[in-house]
A and B are shown apart, each in its own frame.
Chain A
Amino acid sequence: MSVVTNTTTIGAIELPSRRNTELMLLGFAVVIPIFAYANVGLAINGSLPPGMVLYGLGLGALAGVAHLVVRRYAKYADPLLLPLATLLNGLGLVLIWRLDQSDRLQNLAKRSYGAFSPSAPNQMLYTALAIALFAGVLLVLKDHRVLQRFTYISMVAALVLLLLPLVPGLGADVFGAKIWIRVAGFSIQPGEFAKIVLAVFFAGYLMVKRDALALASRRFMGLYLPRGRDLGPILVIWAMSLLILIFENDLGSSLLFFGMFVIMLYVATERTSWIVIGLLMSVGGAVVVASFSSHVGARVSAWLDPFGCWQRNGADAGACEQIAQSIMSFGSGGVLGAGWGQGNSDLIGFAANSDFIFSTVGEELGLTGVMAFLLIYGLIIERGVRTALAARDPFGKLFAIGLSGAFALQIFVVAGGVMGLIPLTGMTMPFLASGGSSVLANWILIAVLIRISDTARRPAPAPAPSPDAEMTQVVRPS
């Protein structure tokens, strides 16, 4: 470890690369899911699952590839992000495989669709694809600041992605929410990708406009109100998120995008008034929508009194029964849980391996397991925020905090939803839930964070000795 001192204002303190730490942690992140897999097999069939070696090798190979790419192309990246994501993804695969074995879900699928197809093989395929994308991002994106150039293109791309499900013939209405598109037999949730693209736009836009937004404002009732032309974009985004909510019945995504924007705006301008304005706007919007949209209204009443509303509505209780079943899953897990493969979280029904996969954690791993998972997610968020703190350019800071904030909101919204803390919104638990879009998008997110942290922690190149150094002070924005 050497400390390089020079005369520029950027401190070039070389941090240890920590690649070997990452490798060791990755070892754990691969071995723990393999044990979990063995455990499920023993609990359900009384024997080690036949695919265990293949699964172990597969997960190990994917982790290995990811590690090598990071080692080569993002040498100084945060060493925790990759192992944490690998661990979650690996355990998610085990959870999905475990739910594939459920007779109840198999019978349900046969009754509803005529056939049952296991989700775990697909998820494994998507994971492989996601790791490839992860590597691709790190290979192609040598410096995250390049993305600044795509600020307005990103905005257009995000809007297109968000509106795709509304295109007739392309969008698919699944269980009340129009957030999927179907292309050549694949279902894609464009919203998951829009999250990242939108963060690029916000970061790029705010970096440019932050001074205007922060300073050119009038004081009104203790709040700093910006000028109309600066306020325009936030109103557009707000309106957009509400439109998505109304037309696609997607409470979660609109909350996520709006929350992400408010967070980034606050960080960019350092004005608390944005938080207040944002909160007022989202509460107002949510109340209006909840009272007009029957889908959202049903979710709210299911949240307020799941058991009562289940009883009242009998056979077509839908959302109420799901929530009630989910809460009972958590409750039945107790402190230590029923054990992998030994719970009945499949009573929740068709969404058990997607929206409600966290209930299986709750029932089979208990309070202990849930807290462990929440802490793993918490650690990812913490590493993301740290990356934002460490980043040296405002774009990187905003980008990293936007992604981490969105990630944190998503965890909160999904886990809070299935635990009955807030109304259910039907988003996916990152890395755990079955679904290609989610896995792909979240691995890209991790790749971007790794790239930013690599740039942030990379020692500045030793400045070329300059003859003017004695005379000229270089002033740069911090």
Chain B
Amino acid sequence: MNKPLRRISLFCGLLVLALLIRTNWIQYVQAEDLSTRKENRRVQIAQYATERGNIIVAGQPITGSAVTDGSDYKFKRTYTDGPLWAPVTGYASQAFGSTQLESLEDGILTGNDDRLFFDRTIGMFTGEKKQGGNVVTTLNPEAQKAAFKALGNNKGAAAAIDPRTGAVLALVSTPSYDPSRFAGNSKDDEKAWVELKDSEDKNLVNRALRETYPPGSTFKVVTAAAALEHGVVKEINDPTDTPDPYFLPGTKTEMVNHASGCKEASLNEALRVSCNSVFANLGDKVTRDKMVETAEKFGFNNDKIDIPVRAFASVYDKKMGKDGNAQSSIGQFNTAATPLQMAMVTAAIANDGKLMKPYMVDHVTSPNLDIIEKHSAQEMSRPLSAANAQKVQEMMVNVVDKGTGTKAKINNVKVGGKTGTAQHGEGNKKRPYAWFISYAENPDGTSPVAVAVVIEDSEADREDISGGGLAAPVAKAVMEAVLKTQG
């Protein structure tokens, strides 16, 4: 009977071998896949198992961690002034995932990033608990608060940039939300989440980065820059050849002006009172392709603007006809921009034509505050020459001093700006968006702040007055806050 016994022993060996092969397959070959599957709650359990590092503004953490009981997740995220900072931090929720900085810097915040390997290893020997690193932002808390307060109950957004470096100083979106409300995974959290997710006001949307609006008349500064750059206008005070009424090229549609005195008005005057006809005419003369060229240098049509949170691409249509291009030159038709984009336009002009890459993470640190990675200012492009930039600056200052933007005036400070009221909706029936872009200038000619503000659903319907009336005070409040804190 020994021969079959040997065969049976071989068979038993094969059974064990099959198990050995299987375990190698799932624990070695497929391990990576299995351990990171979306169904695998361990990923999130680990994410919330240790105290998360913080997001820091001006030396103060705006986030925190709280211990939760009776849950798979040990720590829960807390936020100080959640609604104020939500557009910057995004949220980290045990049940609903994470977004924006919380998501992008997750490796640093949880302490799992490869660059923290040594900290983790040392911690293993010293018995210290694993800790997360910190993310230090460039934001200016005073500017952020000023913008948030000034926007108040309006639906809208504001973005402020330091034109010299590209550092984001304020990033506000209203109505906002408190990420603390759904940071856990309880029934209350779920209720808050559903309420916010389905809210008519789209509270969870970061309007400063993730909503594009027709920029309206604020786009005229781009058209002005293009006209100067491409030699269509040599001197800003020379009259242009714009007739009144002006018909869109190839059509019988009149480009209506809300301002008076636009016939053959100079570029300077046209920007001051915001003549539609003059800029439509100039845009047409510059031609579509060159308009696209300049707009793209300012950052339009770029879907990779990461600060590091990605902003939606702003649009200047590359394929429209002559009449579309003329309309687009005054920020209507297919033109659309995020508040950040318009802040970048303003910043480039204020910085003498040099567009700095916008960023909001200054540096990230290890748990013991060693700097792991520091952002260095980078030039992104040069949409216009320094000489032309100064010409546009002169015109923008004129707008604030004597034009539609007088509400942004600050005593003893040189301020340049541009108002905008963008029509939208079918037949332009919906309430227009009020825009304002501006920058403030130091005595030495450099500019510490450029800001763009948009307010949806403005009550007024007259072009420019509303932009100047509603949005300009917000921009002013931000500029004042920056000037005060930067002394």
Smallest CB–CB gap between B431 and chain A, Å?
43
Interface centre among B3, B8, B41 (most CB of A within 10 A): B8
| Bound CA span A340–B212, Å | 52
Asked whether, in the complex, the Cβ of B12 is within 8 Å of the Cβ of A405, the reply is: yes
Asked whether, in the complex, the Cβ of B41 is within 8 Å of the Cβ of A347, the reply is: yes
Q: Which residues of A contact B45 (CB under 8 A)?
A: 344
Asked whether, in the complex, the Cβ of A328 is within 8 Å of the Cβ of B22, the reply is: no
Which of chain A's residues has its CB closest to B24's CB? A367
Asked whether, in the complex, the Cβ of A362 is within 8 Å of the Cβ of B5, the reply is: no
| Bound CA span A377–B18, Å | 13
Asked whether, in the complex, the Cβ of A421 is within 8 Å of the Cβ of B22, the reply is: yes
User: What 1/0 mask marks residues of chain A from 383 to 399 whose CB sits below 8 Å from any chain B CB?
Assistant: 00100110000100110
Other-chain residue from B13, B22, B70, B72 in contact with A416 (beta carbon distance below 8 A)? B22
Q: Which residues of B contact A267 (CB under 8 A)?
A: 1, 4-5, 8
Interface: B369 (CB within 8 A): no
Smallest CB–CB gap between A432 and chain B, Å?
14
Asked whether, in the complex, the Cβ of B15 is within 8 Å of the Cβ of A333, the reply is: no
Interface: A79 (CB within 8 A): no
Asked whether, in the complex, the Cβ of B5 is within 8 Å of the Cβ of A401, the reply is: yes
Asked whether, in the complex, the Cβ of B42 is within 8 Å of the Cβ of A328, the reply is: yes
Asked whether, in the complex, the Cβ of B27 is within 8 Å of the Cβ of A334, the reply is: yes
Smallest CB–CB gap between A19 and chain B, Å?
26
Asked whether, in the complex, the Cβ of A266 is within 8 Å of the Cβ of B8, the reply is: yes
Which of chain B's residues has its CB closest to A269's CB? B4
| Bound CA span A344–B40, Å | 10
Interface: A293 (CB within 8 A): no
Which of chain B's residues has its CB closest to A478's CB? B1
Which of chain A's residues has its CB closest to B26's CB? A330
Asked whether, in the complex, the Cβ of B27 is within 8 Å of the Cβ of A389, the reply is: no
Interface: B28 (CB within 8 A): yes
User: What 1/0 mask marks residues of chain A from 323 to 336 whose CB sits below 8 Å from any chain B CB?
Assistant: 01001101111110
Other-chain residue from A332, A334, A374, A408 in contact with B40 (beta carbon distance below 8 A)? A332
Q: Which residues of B contact A333 (CB under 8 A)?
A: 27, 31
Asked whether, in the complex, the Cβ of B42 is within 8 Å of the Cβ of A330, the reply is: no
| Bound CA span A268–B4, Å | 8
Which of chain A's residues has its CB closest to B15's CB? A412
Other-chain residue from A362, A398, A412 in contact with B27 (beta carbon distance below 8 A)? A362
User: What 1/0 mask marks residues of chain B from 37 to 58 whose CB sits below 8 Å from any chain A CB?
Assistant: 1011110010000000000000
Interface: A173 (CB within 8 A): no
Which of chain B's residues has its CB closest to A414's CB? B19
Interface: A104 (CB within 8 A): yes
Assuming the contacts A381-B12, A419-B22, asked whether A330 and B27 have C-beta atoms less than 8 A apart, the reply is yes
| Bound CA span A355–B272, Å | 80
Interface: B320 (CB within 8 A): no
Assuming the contacts A378-B13, A416-B18, asked whether A385 and B5 have C-beta atoms less than 8 A apart, the reply is yes
Asked whether, in the complex, the Cβ of A408 is within 8 Å of the Cβ of B15, the reply is: yes
Interface: B186 (CB within 8 A): no
Asked whether, in the complex, the Cβ of A307 is within 8 Å of the Cβ of B5, the reply is: no
Asked whether, in the complex, the Cβ of A415 is within 8 Å of the Cβ of B19, the reply is: yes
Asked whether, in the complex, the Cβ of A270 is within 8 Å of the Cβ of B1, the reply is: yes
User: What 1/0 mask marks residues of chain A from 355 to 372 whose CB sits below 8 Å from any chain B CB?
Assistant: 000000010001100110
Asked whether, in the complex, the Cβ of A371 is within 8 Å of the Cβ of B40, the reply is: no
Q: Which residues of B contact A378 (CB under 8 A)?
A: 12-13, 16
Interface size on A, residues (CB 8 A): 50
Interface: B289 (CB within 8 A): no
Smallest CB–CB gap between B257 and chain A, Å?
59
Interface: B33 (CB within 8 A): yes
Which of chain B's residues has its CB closest to A400's CB? B5
| Bound CA span A374–B7, Å | 20
Asked whether, in the complex, the Cβ of B5 is within 8 Å of the Cβ of A388, the reply is: yes
Assuming the contacts A107-B70, A267-B5, A328-B35, asked whether A370 and B16 have C-beta atoms less than 8 A apart, the reply is no
Interface: B34 (CB within 8 A): yes
Asked whether, in the complex, the Cβ of B22 is within 8 Å of the Cβ of A408, the reply is: no
Assuming the contacts A344-B41, A367-B27, A394-B1, asked whether A332 and B12 have C-beta atoms less than 8 A apart, the reply is no
Number of A-B residue pairs at CB separation under 8 A = 129
Q: Which residues of A contact B122 (CB under 8 A)?
A: none
Asked whether, in the complex, the Cβ of B5 is within 8 Å of the Cβ of A389, the reply is: yes
Assuming the contacts A344-B41, A366-B27, A370-B27, asked whether A419 and B35 have C-beta atoms less than 8 A apart, the reply is no
Asked whether, in the complex, the Cβ of B35 is within 8 Å of the Cβ of A385, the reply is: no
Smallest CB–CB gap between A45 and chain B, Å?
15
Asked whether, in the complex, the Cβ of A374 is within 8 Å of the Cβ of B23, the reply is: yes
| Bound CA span A63–B465, Å | 93
| Bound CA span A466–B61, Å | 99
Smallest CB–CB gap between A212 and chain B, Å?
16
Assuming the contacts A263-B8, A334-B31, A374-B16, asked whether A419 and B40 have C-beta atoms less than 8 A apart, the reply is no
Interface: B2 (CB within 8 A): yes
Smallest CB–CB gap between A341 and chain B, Å?
14
Smallest CB–CB gap between A70 and chain B, Å?
24
Within 8 A of B (CB), among A414-442: 415-416, 419-421
Other-chain residue from A331, A332, A367, A385 in contact with B8 (beta carbon distance below 8 A)? A385
Interface: B68 (CB within 8 A): no
Which of chain B's residues has its CB closest to A370's CB? B23
Other-chain residue from A331, A347, A362, A382 in contact with B30 (beta carbon distance below 8 A)? A331
Assuming the contacts A332-B42, A412-B19, asked whether A385 and B9 have C-beta atoms less than 8 A apart, the reply is yes
| Bound CA span A270–B6, Å | 11
Interface: A404 (CB within 8 A): yes
Interface: A238 (CB within 8 A): no
Other-chain residue from B4, B32, B72 in contact with A266 (beta carbon distance below 8 A)? B4
User: What 1/0 mask marks residues of chain A from 158 to 178 whose CB sits below 8 Å from any chain B CB?
Assistant: 000000000000000000000
Within 8 A of A (CB), among B227-248: none
Interface centre among B16, B26, B27, B45 (most CB of A within 10 A): B27
Asked whether, in the complex, the Cβ of A335 is within 8 Å of the Cβ of B39, the reply is: no
Interface: A138 (CB within 8 A): no
Assuming the contacts A388-B5, A389-B5, A405-B8, asked whether A371 and B23 have C-beta atoms less than 8 A apart, the reply is yes
Smallest CB–CB gap between A429 and chain B, Å?
12
Other-chain residue from A104, A394, A408 in contact with B12 (beta carbon distance below 8 A)? A408
Smallest CB–CB gap between A395 and chain B, Å?
11
| Bound CA span A375–B11, Å | 15
Binding site for A on B (CB under 8 A): 1-9, 11-13, 15-16, 18-20, 22-24, 26-28, 30-35, 37, 39-42, 45, 70, 72
**15 more A-B contacts (CB under 8 A) besides A332-B34, A371-B24, A397-B1?**
A266-B8, A267-B4, A324-B39, A328-B34, A331-B34, A332-B31, A332-B35, A333-B27, A367-B23, A370-B27, A371-B23, A374-B23, A385-B9, A394-B1, A416-B19
21 A/B residue pairs, CB under 8 Å, sorted by A:
A263-B8, A268-B1, A270-B4, A327-B34, A330-B23, A330-B26, A331-B27, A331-B32, A331-B34, A331-B35, A332-B31, A333-B27, A334-B35, A374-B23, A381-B16, A382-B12, A398-B1, A408-B15, A409-B15, A416-B19, A419-B23
Q: What 4 A-B pairs come out closest when comparing CB atoms? A: A331-B34, A367-B27, A408-B12, A385-B9
